[in-house]
Amino acid sequence: MVWKVIEDLIVPKCSGKTLRVNKGQVFRVMEHEGKQVLDLTFLNAHNYKEHFAAEYSAMLNSIQKIGGYYRLSKLYSKPPYENVMLSVVDDKVGDGARGGERAGHFMMCHCSKRLIQHMGAPADTRTCSDNFADAFREIGLAQEDTYDETIFNVWMQSWITEDGAMNFAPPLAEKGEYIDFLAEMDVIAVCSVCPDGSSPCNNFEAKALRMQVLEPDDGTRSEAGL
Ligand SMILES: [Zn+2]
């Protein structure tokens, strides 16, 4: 597949960002330095009430045997909409080949002020919640207007232990590796480059990420290539 690059951004560490991705375009998230997670959600570009539902998507993917809490093939919006918003069309880190099925991603909450405080961080530590608030502001929304704290934690190596506790390990994604999301409708990608530098989640250092909006060079969607 030859891609035409519509947008190509280095999103700085510890920041939030929105990107418009039209139906048929691919949203690519790429490791800029390596071992950095992205907290990610999506809105319908024409109806901000319709947003991506991560846990609901994990359940639907699990039932269809096309993913679950550690990997998604289809990203659904919340009820009552229940539409496929995007499809994952290239995911070499999350395909289970490296580190096992649970090492790809995680459908779970993002970091917030209270969560960070319970982890022992100072009260003024920046969190994904702050990044999301900044990102939503770009499109004229407040965080509470349309929002779900359960998001797609891209490259987050996290899992639930037998006693129900959360566990974390550094991401396995290295510089230049990426995941591709094909937009099945016009969407706004709402992104938080997770600012946590105190835990394994970003390998103890907050870093930047690269994001691209792509479309096939002939301007048409290729089922075979994608
Ligand atoms: Zn975070």
Is residue 122 reached through a cis peptide bond, with omega within 30 degrees of 0 on the bond before it? no
Q: How far is the CA of 195 from the centre of ligand 1 (A)?
A: 6
Residue 151 lies in a domain: yes
Looking at residue 220, its pLDDT comes to: 59
Q: How far is the CA of 105 from the centre of ligand 1 (A)?
A: 13
Q: Contacts from 87-91 at CB under 8 Å and sequence distance 24+? A: 87/181, 87/182, 87/184, 88/179, 88/180, 88/181, 88/182, 89/26, 89/180, 89/181, 89/182, 89/226, 90/178, 90/179, 90/180, 91/179, 91/180
pTM equals 0.93
Q: How many domains does the chain have?
A: 1
Residue 59 lies in a domain: yes
Residue 221 lies in a domain: no
Looking at residue 27, its pLDDT comes to: 98
Q: How far is the CA of 221 from the centre of ligand 1 (A)?
A: 34
Looking at residue 147, its pLDDT comes to: 75
Q: How far is the CA of 148 from the centre of ligand 1 (A)?
A: 14
Tens digits of pLDDT across the chain (226 residues): 788 999 999 999 999 999 999 999 999 999 999 999 999 999 999 999 999 999 999 999 999 999 999 999 999 999 999 999 999 999 988 887 888 888 899 999 999 999 888 888 888 899 999 999 999 999 999 988 877 889 999 999 999 999 999 999 999 999 999 999 999 999 999 999 999 998 999 999 999 999 999 998 875 555 544 4
Looking at residue 143, its pLDDT comes to: 86
Torsion, CA 140, CA 145, CA 149, CA 153, rounded to 10: -30
CA separation (Å) from 125 to 120, 177, 190?
10, 28, 21
* CA atoms in the 13 A half-sphere facing the CB of 89: 22
Residue 11 lies in a domain: no
Residue 112 lies in a domain: yes
Strand partners for 87:
74, 182
Looking at residue 224, its pLDDT comes to: 46
Residue 118 lies in a domain: yes
Residue 113 lies in a domain: yes
The environment of the single-atom ion ligand 1, i.e. residues with CB closer than 5 A, is 110-111, 128, 194, 196
Residue 12 lies in a domain: no
CA separation (Å) from 222 to 76, 170, 215, 217?
22, 35, 10, 10
Q: How far is the CA of 224 from the centre of ligand 1 (A)?
A: 36
Q: How far is the CA of 95 from the centre of ligand 1 (A)?
A: 23
Q: How far is the CA of 160 from the centre of ligand 1 (A)?
A: 18
Looking at residue 122, its pLDDT comes to: 82
Q: How far is the CA of 127 from the centre of ligand 1 (A)?
A: 5
1 and 222 Cβ atoms separated by less than 8 Å: yes
Domain that holds residue 111: 17-207
Looking at residue 121, its pLDDT comes to: 82
Looking at residue 219, its pLDDT comes to: 55
* CA atoms in the 13 A half-sphere facing the CB of 218: 5
Number of Cβ within 10 Å of residue 128's Cβ equals: 28
